[in-house]
Amino acid sequence: MNPAIHEASLSERHRGTGRSLRAHVILDAALRIFAEKGFDGTTISEIERGAGLAAGKGGFYRHFPSKEAVFRAVVEREIERVASEQSERSSELMPPSVSARDRLLIGIRSALESLERREALIAMLGRDPDRLGDLREHVRRTMLAGWIDLQRLEIGVETGQNGAAKSQDSEALAIIAISAVTGFQMLRRFFGDPIKGVGADRFAVALASAMGATPEH
């Protein structure tokens, strides 16, 4: 890609975030490397090289005081993005004509898409969950509300089981759906897509049906 076009794309992506473009380039590099190697396996020199900086020349320290600080900054930025996505989705009202089954399908597909977008963050958090410190609860709440889209799945479960769902544990059913979605995404990552001919759409339809949401006639 033309460097000027690439820089313009980065500038648009990070506009209004309160950090310089270079700081975001460092955060992008840190996210990739933390996800691949974990905190302890990552060096500041690797982050500098990943961000296009000369290693050992102080470029990193013009933006972040330490590796711990950039780790925290990565988590804070990515979680802010998750929360922003959730806010945008919450403002998108589904018309009453959308069936309960379709609501559930939308929730499942949305969760799959969220997992794909946040794959590096998930890998990073999975490697170093104990480094979250005081961010742990904020991360947990935001990921459940936004990344997994728990609320939308619950809405689908509550209304999608042919009148029987109200008597069932909709929260537990939503967690079952989340577990299935997460497992499916992990299998796609490991074995490739589709898995034995089952792609995202076929998976979403089968999961919705397994949860009792049958097509309306």
For residues 35 and 51, the answer to whether their CB atoms sit within 8 Å is no
What is the DSSP code (8-state) at residue 195? B
8 pLDDT more than 90: no
- The pLDDT value recorded for residue 39 is 97
Average predicted confidence (pLDDT) for the chain: 80
Give the pair of three-digit tokens for residue 192.
Answer: 């490739």
50 pLDDT more than 60: yes
Q: pTM to 2 decimals?
A: 0.74
Q: In angstroms, what CA-CA distances link 60 with 65, 77, 92? A: 8, 17, 40
- The pLDDT value recorded for residue 2 is 45
27 pLDDT more than 80: yes
Residue % of the chain over a pLDDT of 70: 76
Taking residues 27-32, report their average pLDDT.
98
**What is the Cα–Cα distance from 107 to 147, expressed in whole angstroms?**
11
- Print burial letters for 115-147: b (CB count within 10 Å at least 16), e (below 16): beebebbbbbbebbeebbeeeeeebeebbbbbb
- The pLDDT value recorded for residue 68 is 97
The count of other CB atoms within 10 Å of the CB of residue 40 is: 10
- The pLDDT value recorded for residue 80 is 93
143 pLDDT more than 50: yes
The residues that bridge with 195 in the sheet, in sequence order, are 198
Taking residues 144-148, report their average pLDDT.
61
**What is the Cα–Cα distance from 117 to 87, expressed in whole angstroms?**
16
pLDDT in tens, 150-200: 555 655 655 554 444 454 677 777 788 888 988 998 898 888 888 888 999
- Torsion, Cα 28 1 16 128, to 10 degrees, reads -10
pLDDT in tens, 86-101: 777 665 656 777 777 7
Instruction: Give Cβ neighbours of residue 33 (< 8 Å, ≥ 6 apart).
Output: 42, 46, 47, 50
- The pLDDT value recorded for residue 11 is 43
